[in-house]
Structure 1
Amino acid sequence: MLKKKLTLIIVFLLIFSAPETFAQSRKKRKADKNAVAKVDTKASDAKKEPKPYKKVIDSSAVTQKGLIDVHKIDNKYLFEIPDSILGSEMMTITRYSKTPAGGGIFGGEEINRQVVRWEKGLNNNILLRSITYVIMSPDADKPLAQAVKNSTSDPIIGNYDVLAYKKDEAGKITGYVVDLATTFDADVQTFSLDPIKKQLLNIQAFQKDRSFISKVSSFPINTEIRSVKTFTTTPPKINTSPTPKIGVDLPSALDAGVLTVEMNTSMILLPKNPMRKREFDARVGYFANQYGVFEEESQKSDTKVFAVRWRLEPKSPEDAQKQKMGELIEPLKPIVYYIDPATPEKWKKYIKQGIDDWQVAFENAGWKNAIRGEYWPENDPTMSLEDARFSVLRYFAAEIQNAYGPNVHDPRTGEILESHIGWYHNIMSLLRNWYLIQTAAVDPAARAKKFDDKLMGELIRFVSSHEVGHTLGLRHNMGASSATPVEKLRDKDYQDKNGHTSSIMDYARFNYVAQPEDGVTALFPRIGDYDKWAIKWGYSYFEDTKTEAQEKAFLNEMTKEAYKNNRLWFGSESSPYDPRYQTEDIGDNAMRASEYGIKNLKRILPNLLQWSKEDGESYSELEELYGALTGQFRRYMGHVTKNVGGIYDSPKTYDMSGNQFQVVPKSIQKDAVAFLNTQLFTTPKWLLDQNILSKINPESGVEAIKGMQDATLSSLMAGDRMVRLLETSTASKDNYSVDELITDLNKGIFSELKGNSSIDMYRRNVQKLYVDKMIELLKPGSTTVRSVPVGVTYGFNTRRVNLAQTDLPSIARGQLNALKNDLKMSSSRMTDRMSKYHVLDLISRISEALDPK
């Protein structure tokens, strides 16, 4: 009992004394925590305090001098940011060095680029900011410049403690030693993969423990940082829904659950003396950069648009005078492209020739030896393929059938700093297919499964020239080939002298118009008249023009004079309505050119089996070539179709005569529809070579023909084309109209009704397609109409048009009523059973559409 009472007393005392005891305990813990916090803060502050330079960069450091001095101590890299570059802008270019196989990414390809700037922080630290050019003010000392600054805050992408200061003998700070590991062995977007690329590669999370800086090299104008980055990937899932999968599963990621890539970031100082900008001109096809400009004395903001090009300057004033007098001179710094040592040996010389071919264009601008190709030197440790000082044609072991020519330029002026051309191995397969299908009727060398090295080498040379053209700043000139009359494409002497297109920047591949009897052997694109003119416009050095405005005025006079020759015209790669500006077409009349092209396809088709065969191999090669041939036929249909509802767009300025926009003449549009009626809607049975189809396809080609007809009818009757026809025919009765288009299609597609002929399956198919599309026009909905903005570089103006509020449904109703009557008259005289069923079915469809129950 006594023991129980004592226990209760103890419990009582503990309960009632607990608050004070617990409070004292909390105070003690809080005091201890504060003490720790103070200690940690002091320790942290102490850590941030820079140490003496020699304590940080001691005798064990291995130092590389360059734009940024780099010190390697054990396995750690420290960077010495010179005071002289603080506030200066630098371009950073990050490329893959090594990539996992199977993801469609390759070593040497660019990942991203960004302008950055180093600046001092507030507390012994250095900041790295990302710079984006959107708006600028040239009046730095005026009030408006402050408003621009207030609207252009640049994000901070790096904050680095200064570990030590480098000082000169007078005690002035000349450098800041920092550790950039937090940026380059981490996953900072500017120097790594952006979210979209990660999504495409199914990348999930960055793995710090398996990522590191592997090498740093510093040179006089650039610093190169190579890093290894490892990521986990999204595990593959069983797909139980129809939702499409976005990313690609890389084989190595499936095996290991992670993927590792090596990246190289080039940091290159932008020129201290920016190149003079050359204002963009829509009449000459250059890539361009732009930003908004706010000037103190202006009444509205302006957009400064300028061409992208290399800087070519004379070595001396004396040279400038020689050039002015007509003598060719060498530039201070020529344009040099190195060829990747991974390129197969036998193709290197052809790629180099493709680069050197541009010398003739630069000579037209007053330069000699201005551009050249070089083989990459072996065993030179001072050179790296990812080094931003060197422009390189990189060779990729890839199944992709392509090549591309980008450039890296100063966003302030458009000055090209370097370029890495991408070249995929399987482009040779594409070239072989293109050349065989387009020229085998006239060139015996094209009639083979594998081309000889000389022919393939010349094909590679042509592509090399084209891609280099892009890296010189030139856009595609899709209108160049339209300057050549179709009959001149069959003229041997003319072709030997001029070629089939005036620009190698056109997608005009090869001369598919020349017939076997013509004797034409010049079938390749070459550096043409337009290319020489465009280089003259972009690279001429004008000693006497002291301002951008003076230069613009001088160039305008040059351009107006050049415009008198349509071989020097530029045709946009993006026009939705100009039939002269198309890919893969040649000649000034698509109907005549395509007719010649089809004649050659008919000669080539029966030989595909012989030209693709190889004992012991499947018919996959035959299938590929047949697909290439039918694809070529489809292109001809597309070339012709664009004439319908077409509008010529010839860029003009106020001081030039004539209108910029002109409607394609009615006669040409009617010729286009007649061509389609003859070559496509009248069944092209010549394509249905059963000796070929029976080896590559279980079907006989009925649906394939219907698919071609469906695609062309859909294009012909597309909403934007209908809008252009409605508007242009309203402007003038001399222009082709929607009603005339449908009338012409009716005559061709239903030609059997006049003579009560039997209608075979192919024709029944196209007639059903046509009627269904006409019925759709009764309730056409809305469409988007695009137009290219006048005088600018890229992009479209768009507007939505409600087609139900136009004449389109009215025309469709009237035409369907007329067609219904014609079908009724014909049905009573039809003797072929399937034809009669078909006609009655069409009558029923039309009746139900016109008067739905």
Structure 2
Amino acid sequence: MIKKLTLMSCLVLFLFATDSTAQRKKKDKKGSTPVEMPEAKKPDLKKEPKPYKKVIDTTAISQKGLIEVHKVGDKYLFEIADTLIGKEIIAITRYSKTPAGGGIFGGEEVNRQVIKFEKGLNHNILVRSVTYIIMTPDEDKPITQAVRNSSSDPIIGNYDILAYKKSSNGKENTGYVIDMNTAFDADVQTFSLSPMNKQLLKIQAFQKDRSFIQSIKTFPINTEIRTVKTFATTPRQISITPTPRIGTDLPAGLDAGVVTFEFNTSLLLLPQKPMKKRAFDKRVGYFANKYDVFSEDSHKSDKEVFAVRWRLEPKNEEDALKLKNGELIEPKKPIVYYIDPATPEKWRGYIKQGIDDWQEAFEFAGWKNAIRGEYWPENDENMSLEDARFSVLRYFAADIQNAYGPNVHDPRTGEILESHIGWYHNIMSLLRDWYLIQTGAVDPKARNKKFDDQLMGELIRFVSSHEVGHTLGLRHNMGASFATPVEKLRDKDFQKANGHTSSIMDYARFNYVAQPEDGVTDLFPRIGDYDKWAIKWGYSYFQDANTEVDEKSILNDMTKEAYKNPRLWFGTETNPYDPRFQTEDLGDNAMKASEYGIKNLKRILPNLLEWSKESGEDYDELNGLYNSLTGQFRRYMGHVTKNVGGIYESPKTYDMEGDKYEVVPAIIQNEAVTFLNDQLFKTPKWLLDQNILSKIRPENGVEAIKSIQDGTLTSLLSGDRLVRLLETSSQNNANYSVDKLMSDLKKGIFSEVRSNAPIDIYRRNLQKLFVTKLAEAMSTEKSNFANFNGRRINLTETDIPSIARGQLNELKTQLKGAAAVATDRLTKFHLNDLVARIENAMKPK
């Protein structure tokens, strides 16, 4: 026993003596016996990569492609080729399946980022996210370093190299095997939901134990990762209305406390030879991309803005020569859109025709068979609807009345790589309402609760063409409809030859101007003159243009020539003060077009009951159609109103004649106010069809009429419009002015005051509204601001309060005189009340 203790004591002493750095001595507070304190544990050394065959053994199931994928056990290992290091890859994540009720649908885009693989310092591979904000053309100049110093790309992943793949001679590394499972079966933002989406959907913590990689497939230029991800949801707060709020609460989350999504992430290699950029031109309506450019030869940074479009190129030099000589050729790679197999069969042909209709436009650019629609092939395991190699029109089982046409493009050049058009089922309901309300007076086929398949199919074809136009890079051309004179909208021969607008990219909808006696049957939008010109601008191939500058010069000459024809003009969708650029309007004169439109509404309204009836059903359908009709009337008022204080903005360059900005002529502005006085402020009692109102609502329409009038008056007397009128009349007294506007409105709204006629409830409401609006305009509150041309303007420091005060003073005098002679009891009360309101508004606070 003693011998064993002695040996153990020796062993302990030996261990302490040979590891003297593993401990240190420390005295207690009294300076007595030292206390032994162990040193912090050293980290484990980084694991060294193993031999390739030890990691990718005989059990591995391998796929070759952009990224070689090996399934070993339950893990997917990525083999990154050395040639892929530093190459830019666009990662596009889409929903494959979504919880119901959130307003999101399988096939829609979730996230899009460019990434690249990079070698780390110690047997590791980094993944960076690449953002294009600033660039330099001078890669071999010192300024390149300054650009790099100001644009560091974030590291979104760091992965140990598990094994190196060696070249045949065993000297060079040709591939790096890494485990990226944690990038896809976890909640990495690049391949998952953004924080904003999570907030909107009330999503909280990621549930790792209920999330996994479903499959990975790899192809020559892309790798497709299908994942399932589960998230906890935010508990619903106690409410007296516990019904789920669609688009805010996910019903599955309310039931289970969690929601599960399926995602598809496409890793798509960006083109190794970038497409030549085409400089953006404001005179042609293309979507654009941009970044700041720093060059050693420039005195300031420049913004490089370039159009977003597909790459169309000849197959070979022989075809290029044919194209140059004016012969149509087929492109090396045509634009193909697949139709979702979930689309009802009876609509597929119409959607395909809407795509194929663009072939004629591409022929203007020299291409034949450049674009086509195709039906999705059945049972092809190498194709997926979310695969970024394929453009697809996705059909959503949703009650949303809409469709949309996005695209995914190379941020370096604007080259469109693919598109997934979104098509919601209830777009058909919207199309039915539009067509019935706008053309029911002239087209007997529109006078039904349910349209026949041929009519609905043609409506679907029109929407298909419009959305495909967006995916070709085309923006809305809201000025196209202005190129058609109003009377030509009633000309059946002109309509047959040209249609009612020069662009299907306008929001022109259907020909509501044509009257029953005109015999016009061409009522649909179609691909028009502007669309063909825009495709020619975006997709012509200039073999002899060696640089983007050369190409820009050629395009500028083409554009100047095209602008001699107003039907080829582009009108932006973002201009707030040019009355030529509006949604849902027709013709070159909103007053004339709207007058014709109202005539048709008066014909349609009495028939709504008959056209919507169905035995055993309530009046919801009638209510919806009536609301659509009054909504159409409101649009007409808005179209007219935009002329007041309007300023034409025509895209111009230095080498074009004429001014960019021109004031809408006073005669047109005066015509607009006269129209509003006649059609709206003189009570439109024709809207108050009691045979309809008595079946859909308890009131008689008093407040409904006031609401429409209030909206238009508010718009007419808004601060930004009044400021524009001050600006445009300051240099030319002949221009329409704030004082003239208020006087013209006052004359129409208070016509009974001059004639001493009784004032009914509708006009009493309107007159109170007008006095309130002028009192607000007279306000000297410091918070009374408006915006114009990017400036925030304090209205109290303009002439607007002065003019409004003068108008109210004049009106007060007139009202006092009218009240003195009024014989109708309510009219007298009303006039005296208005006088009191004006006097109260004028009292200093």
TM-score bucket of the superposed structures, by smaller chain: over 0.9
Contact map agreement 1:199 1:247 (CA 8 A) in 2? no
- Retained in 1: the 8 A contact 2:101–2:246? no
Other-structure match for 2:200: 200
Q: Residue 717 of structure 1 corresponds to which residue in structure 2?
A: 717
Partner of 2:785: 783
CA distance in structure 2 between the aligned counterparts of 1:395 and 1:313, rounded to whole angstroms: 31
Summarize the alignment of residues 294-309 of structure 1 with structure 2, pairs less than 5 Å apart.
Answer: 294-309=294-309
State how far apart, in whole Å, the 2-side matches of 1:801 and 1:558 are.
Answer: 40
Paired residue type of 2:555: L
Q: Which runs of 5+ in 2 are unaligned?
A: 1-26
Cross-structure match for 2:56: 57
CA contact (8 A) 2:213 2:225 kept: yes
What is the correspondence of 1:249-264 to structure 2 with a 5 Å cutoff? Answer: 249-264=249-264
How far apart are residue 851 of structure 1 and its match?
Answer: 2.8
What TM-score comes out, normalization by structure 1 length? 0.94
Counterpart-to-counterpart distance in 2, 1:506 and 1:466: 9
Does residue 125 in structure 1 map to residue 128 in structure 2? no
The answer on 1:477 being equivalent to 2:480 is: no
1:760 and 1:847 map into 2 onto residues whose CA distance is 23
* Matched residue SS, 2:78: strand
Q: Output the amino acid matched with 1:597.
A: G
CA distance in 2, matches of 1:225, 1:607: 55
Question: 2:412 matched to 1:420?
Answer: no
3-state SS of the aligned residue for 2:417?
A: strand
The residue that corresponds to 2:806 in the other structure is 814
Q: Tell me what 1:325 maps to.
A: 325
Is 1:235 the equivalent of 2:235?
yes
Shift of the alpha carbon at 1:648? 0.5
- CA offset digits 1:364-417 (Å, max 9, x no partner): 000000000000000000000010100000000000000000000001100000
Deviations 1:80-114 (A, max 9, x none): 11111111111111000000000000000001101
| CA RMSD after TM alignment | 1.6
Residues in 2 aligned to 1:190 and 1:784: alpha-carbon distance in whole angstroms = 40
Letter in 2 for 1:41: D
**Residue correspondence of structure 1 range 14-413 to structure 2 within 5 A:** 26-27=36-37, 30=38, 34=40, 37-38=41-42, 41-42=44-45, 45=46, 48-171=47-170, 172-239=172-239, 248-413=248-413
CA distance in 2 between partners of 1:770 and 1:18 (Å): 88
Counterpart of 2:835 in structure 1: which amino acid?
A: I
Q: For each residue in 1:560-586, what CA deviation from the matched residue of structure 2 results, as whole angstroms up to 9, or x when unmatched?
A: 000000000000001000000000001
Give the match's secondary structure for 1:513. Answer: coil
1:805 partner letter: E
Q: Which residue of 2 aligns with 1:643?
A: 643
Q: Given the alignment, which residue of 786, 801, 805 partners 2:793? A: 801
Aligned 8 A contact 2:392 2:420 in 1: yes
What's the counterpart of residue 14 of structure 1?
none
Q: Which amino acid aligns with 1:184?
A: F
**Conservation of the 8 A alpha-carbon contact between 1:50 and 1:162:** yes
Relative distance call for 1:839 and 1:173 in structure 2 (3 A) is same
Task: Flag the 1:250–1:264 CA change in 2: closer, same or farther, 3 A.
Answer: same
Determine the C-alpha separation between the residues in 1 that align with 2:167 and 2:224. 26
Q: CA deviation at 1:249?
A: 1.3
Structure 1 partner of 2:823: 831
- Whichever residue aligns with residue 760 of structure 1, its letter is D
For residue 658 of structure 1, what is the amino acid of its counterpart?
G
Structure 1 distance, partners of 2:426, 2:746, is 45
Superposition deviation, residue 825 in structure 1: 1.2
Q: Which amino acid aligns with 2:811?
A: L
Residue identity opposite 1:848 in structure 2: N
Instruction: Return the letter of the residue paired with 2:613.
Output: K
Post-superposition shift, 1:280? 0.3
Distance 1:731 1:449 in 2: 55
How is 1:395-544 mapped onto 2 (pairs within 5 angstroms)? Answer: 395-544=395-544
- Letter matched to residue 89 of structure 1: E
SS at match of 1:162: strand
Give 3-state SS (helix, strand or coil) of 1:576's partner: coil
Distance 1:193 1:85 in 2: 27
Other structure's SS at 2:778 match: coil
Task: Please state how far the C-alpha of 1:754 moved relative to its aligned partner.
Answer: 1.1
- Corresponding residue for residue 790 of structure 1: none
Query: What is the CA distance between 1:23 and its match in structure 2?
Result: 7.2
Q: Which amino acid aligns with 1:846?
A: I
Residue 732 (structure 1) shift: 0.9
Change in 2 beyond 3 A, CA 1:121/1:438: same
Q: Equivalent residue for 1:628? A: 628
Mapped contact 2:442–2:514 kept (Cα < 8 A):
yes
Distance 1:207 1:24 in 2: 50
Superposed displacement of residue 784, structure 1: 3.5
1:782-822: CA deviations, max 9, x gaps?
A: 333244xxxxxxxxxx2100111110011011111100111
Q: Distance in 2 between matches of 1:22 and 1:528?
A: 98
Q: Deviations over 1:18-58 (max 9, x none)?
A: 9999977753xx26xx5xx34x514xx2xx31111111111
Counterparts of 1:71 and 1:24, CA distance in 2: 57
Alignment check: 8 A CA contact 1:756 1:826 kept? yes
Residue 852 of structure 1 and its aligned partner are, at CA, apart by 4.3
Indicate if the aligned counterparts of 1:328 and 1:363 stay in contact, CA closer than 8 A. Answer: yes
Q: CA deviation at 1:544?
A: 1.0
Supply the AA of the counterpart residue of 1:606.
Answer: P
Q: Distance in 2 between matches of 1:291 and 1:23?
A: 70
Distance in 1 separating the partners of 2:785 and 2:60:
67
The gaps in structure 1 that reach 5 residues or longer are 1-16, 788-797
Which residue of structure 1 lines up, in the alignment, with residue 14 of structure 2? none
Shift of 1:167: 1.1
Query: Aligned equivalents of 1:647 and 1:526: distance in 2?
Result: 29
Report if aligned partners of 1:138, 1:293 keep a CA contact under 8 Å in 2: yes
**Aligned CA distance change for structure 1 residues 245 and 609 (closer, same or farther; 3 Å):** closer
CA contact (8 A) 2:742 2:807 kept: yes
Pairs within 5 Å for 1:682-761: 682-761=682-761
* TM alignment of 1:550-565, pairs within 5 A: 550-565=550-565
Deviation track 1:103-146 (CA, whole Å, cap 9, x = no partner) reads 00000000110111110011100000011111101101111111
2:840 corresponds to 1:848:
yes
Cα distance in 2, alignment partners of residues 764 and 51 from structure 1: 89
How many angstroms apart in 2 are the aligned matches of 1:168 and 1:440? 74
Instruction: Describe the SS at the equivalent of 1:395.
Output: strand
**CA contact 1:199–1:246 (8 Å) conserved in 2:** no
Letter in 1 for 2:409: H
Deviation at 1:159, TM superposition (A): 0.5
- Structure 1 equivalent of residue 23 of structure 2: none
Q: CA deviation at 1:734?
A: 1.6
The residue correspondences of 1:580-619 to structure 2 (distance < 5 A) are 580-619=580-619
**Other structure's SS at 1:828 match:** helix
| Amino acid in structure 1 at the alignment position of 2:815 | L
Displacement of 1:168 in angstroms is 1.4
Q: Secondary structure at the match of 2:627?
A: helix
Distance 2:455 2:48 in 1: 67
- Alpha-carbon distance between aligned partners in 2 of 1:642 and 1:808, rounded to the nearest angstrom: 19
What SS does the aligned partner of 2:821 have?
A: coil
Q: In structure 1, what is the Cα distance between the partners aligned to 2:159 and 2:731? A: 66
- Show the counterpart of 1:794: none
CA-to-aligned-CA distance 1:607-652 (integer Å, 9 cap, x gap): 1111111111111111111110000000000000000000001000
Is the Cα contact below 8 Å between 1:782 and 1:800 reproduced in 2?
no
Deviation at 1:74, TM superposition (A): 2.2
Query: 1:779 Cα deviation (Å)?
Result: 1.1
Task: Specify whether residues 124 and 746 from structure 1 end up closer, same or farther in structure 2 by C-alpha distance, changes over 3 A only.
Answer: same
One-letter code aligned to 1:604: I
